[in-house]
Structure 1
Amino acid sequence: MTNRRERIEMGKTMHEINNDAVYQNSPETRQKVTDLFSRQEIALLTKRSDLMGAWAIVMTWGGVALIFTLMAWVSQQPIWLAAPGIVVGMLFLAGRQLSLSIIVHDASHGTLFKTKWLNQHLTDWLCARPLWNDLSKYRDYHFIHHTRTGTDDDPDLILRNGYPTTPQSLTRKFARDLSGLVGIKYLVGRVLMDAGILNWTVTGEVTWLPQNERRWYQPIISVITESTPMLITNILLFGALYLAGYAWLYLCWVVAHLTFFMAFMRIRSMAEHAACTRNLNMFENTRTVKAGWLARALVAPIGVNYHMEHHIVASCPWFRLSTAHKMLQERGAVPVPPTYWQVLKIMGSGAQRPSVNPA
């Protein structure tokens, strides 16, 4: 994990990297982005909005409230309707949890809100902490992904390795997600990361940290300190459901996160970079995917399906990514995107695509 000093030594802050991706002939794009967009168009595409940032959060938590309301209603119906209704409710809850994660991703780029304080603090407490995430740590981690996409130093490489795989292997992966095995492993890893025993990551990659100079109680203090914001936000969520008379819905929130959310994160990760060419060209190492209403509700919230456009213009806020995609398509710069179903078929095709090592 890099700290700010190390990032400065690498030559750029995240904001400067984003600007370079727009204004310079960076090796990541292999061509000038100004050959695709005029400077006036770039100014439009990178314009941020506090109103749209607030709308993303209100829309997401409003969806959570609506889903909880419908689950509470369906639970009072006959069992043949209540049981599948609650399962479907957890499915869509996981989609809103993914939406919270994508909001955190956008805030890490400083594009969710125009106001810096709202990007950092409001988003951290309303979106990151309820999911046991940390905006500042995620930003440092994600910074490396954007500067090293398509190389062996990409920290998200573990999410794209091994694809395409066989249909049987893909089925086993999703079975582990939906059974909760991956989710439980994630929770254990999060405790160890908060304890300072594992390096902080969102990919599940295990890197043990030295403990020789630590006293026995220091990991315990670290866990308590680091997990307190998560506990506060989740106690508030549980308390709201308890006061509404449906405390059991919080269990649905947890189960959704340990099961469906993990499967949706896998789909999202596969769609973005898996089975793409291994080189530094972001027109080739990243994928945009076509998303209908169901995909947007479950695996592609907040414009995350426009991932190639995001890597091309990383300072473009979520509500302008579709515009960037349309402009690039009109200019023949990006291919026609596949659907998520087509991506899944590619991932389970069992035929490895040739990789190109970075120069």
Structure 2
Amino acid sequence: MPVAARVDPKVYFSPPEWNPLARRSPWKGLALVAHAWAVIGLAMAMAVVWPLTIPLAIAIIGARQLGLAILMHDAAHAALHPNLKVNDWVGNNLTTGDLKAYRPYHLQHHKFAQQAEDPDLVLSAPFPITRTSLRRKILRDLTGRTYYKLKWSGLVNRIRERRPGEPLWPILKDAVVRRRRFFTGMVVTIALTAPFGLWWVWPVLWLVPQATWLPMVTRLRNIAEHACVAKDEPDPLRHARTTHANWLERAFIAPYWVNYHCEHHMFMHVPCYNLSKAHRILRKTGALDRMLTAPGYLSVLKLATSRREAKAA
């Protein structure tokens, strides 16, 4: 299967327009990483001072956990910092991802976007689905079942299925090594907060958002980006969808310009903080008329759940 078609920036941008868009800032990406952690810290402080705000804090923190994943995604494209060593160190150590594993996988997605070899095609292939199906998926997300399936069920099954006499310790040791970032964060956070009686901060204000809100908004983001996009789509302006997001959606669903996904697929090395500028220039050229866009997340969900419910026999 041939690779997905590419877009030549010169078709849409003059050199004075394109050069600033493609330029990686030595500070903007780092500032966004700091911003994500600052928002998480402030939301935690808010919940500690005013426990009634814990549900709001969980939504805020879960959205910024997604934000850290988005910034790791930028690092995978070497777009977080102009120095590749700094870019990769920040992506590996100050976000929530593993560039070594993620980068080759994700670049394969770009190389074969919406083609048979696209490793993310399985995420968009089932759509459209029914509203009932989406409600079930969101319920699984918000109750932690999706998180458990993706992160822990493999380990639990490995323990259950071990051979008679096979020691448990090597399995647990391997699990800890593979999840060392998770356990290190847990131990450090609890060690720092427990002396002040705040031992609950990590499980309630980090693990719960990670296990509930993050899977849900990740699902909604995936739906908005590629659901109901044609398989083997030949037009590179329609390999992904840009979804217009209001301030509330940007705060809780689509941080750090992730909603400009069509632009990202067209010009995958443009840093996330320049995608909105690219969008405005493309509007002036009339390119938006060809691009795949949606007026908001609700409209995308309506399209993605357009399959009719099966009639009862």
Q: Secondary structure at the match of 2:295?
A: coil
Q: Please give the alpha-carbon distance, in whole angstroms, between the structure 1 residues aligned to 2:154 and 2:79.
A: 27
Q: Match for residue 210 of structure 2?
A: 257
| Counterpart position of 1:227 | 179
Deviation track 1:304-332 (CA, whole Å, cap 9, x = no partner) reads 10101111111100111001011111111
In structure 2, the partner of 1:298 is 252
Deviation of 1:123 after TM superposition, in Å, equals: 2.5
Is residue 151–residue 280 contact of structure 1 (8 Å, CA) maintained in 2?
no
- CA 1:245–1:115 in 2, change beyond 3 Å: closer, same or farther? farther
- Partner in structure 2 of residue 167 of structure 1: 131
Amino acid at match of 2:298: W
Give me the whole-angstrom Cα distance separating, in 1, the residues matched to 2:191 and 2:248.
30
Q: Which moved more, 1:316-325 or 1:330-339?
A: 330-339
Alignment match of 1:138 (pick from 97, 102, 117) = 102
Q: Distance in 1 between matches of 2:71 and 2:273?
A: 12
SS at structure 1 position matched to 2:294: coil
Distance 1:230 1:350, change over 3 A: same
User: Matches of 1:322 and 1:86 in 2, distance apart?
Assistant: 32
Asked if 1:267 corresponds to 2:220, the answer is: yes
CA distance in structure 1 between the partners assigned to 2:297 and 2:240 by the alignment: 14
| 1:96 matches 2:64 | yes
1:86 aligns with 2:72: no
- Is the Cα contact below 8 Å between 1:149 and 1:280 reproduced in 2? no
CA distance in structure 2 between the partners assigned to 1:228 and 1:97 by the alignment: 18
- Kept in 2: contact 1:146–1:311 (CA 8 A): yes
Q: What is the SS of the residue equivalent to 1:48?
A: coil
Number of aligned pairs?
A: 298
Alpha-carbon contact 2:72-2:95 (below 8 Å) kept: yes
Q: Contact 2:7–2:236 at 8 Å: present in 1 too? A: no
Aligned pair 1:150/2:114, yes or no? yes
Shift of 1:156: 0.8
Aligned residue number for residue 62 of structure 1: 38
**Structure 1, gaps ≥5 residues long:** 1-25, 76-81, 198-214, 352-359
Change (3 A) 1:187 1:232: same
Letter in 1 for 2:4: E
TM-score with structure 1 setting the length: 0.76
TM-superposed deviation, 1:30: 6.2
Q: Percent identity?
A: 30
1:256-304 Cα distance to aligned partner (Å, 9 max, x none): 1111111100000000011112214231121001111111112111111
In structure 2, C-alpha distance between the alignment counterparts of 1:124 and 1:235, rounded to whole Å:
19
- The 3-state SS of whatever aligns with 2:223 is helix
Residue 103 of structure 1 aligns with an amino acid whose one-letter code is: L
Read off the aligned partner of 2:282 and give its amino acid letter.
L
Taking only aligned residues, the RMSD between alpha carbons, in angstroms, comes to 2.7
Structure 2 counterpart of 1:57, one-letter code: V
In 2: Cα distance, 1:328 partner to 1:137 partner? 33
Uncovered stretches (5+) of structure 2, i.e. residues with no partner: 160-166, 309-313
CA positional deviation for 1:238: 3.0
Native 8 Å contact 2:3 2:111 kept in 1: no
Within 2, Cα distance between the matches of 1:38 and 1:32?
11
- Determine which of 141, 158, 165 is the counterpart of 1:177: 141
How far is the alpha carbon of 1:229 from its aligned partner? 3.1
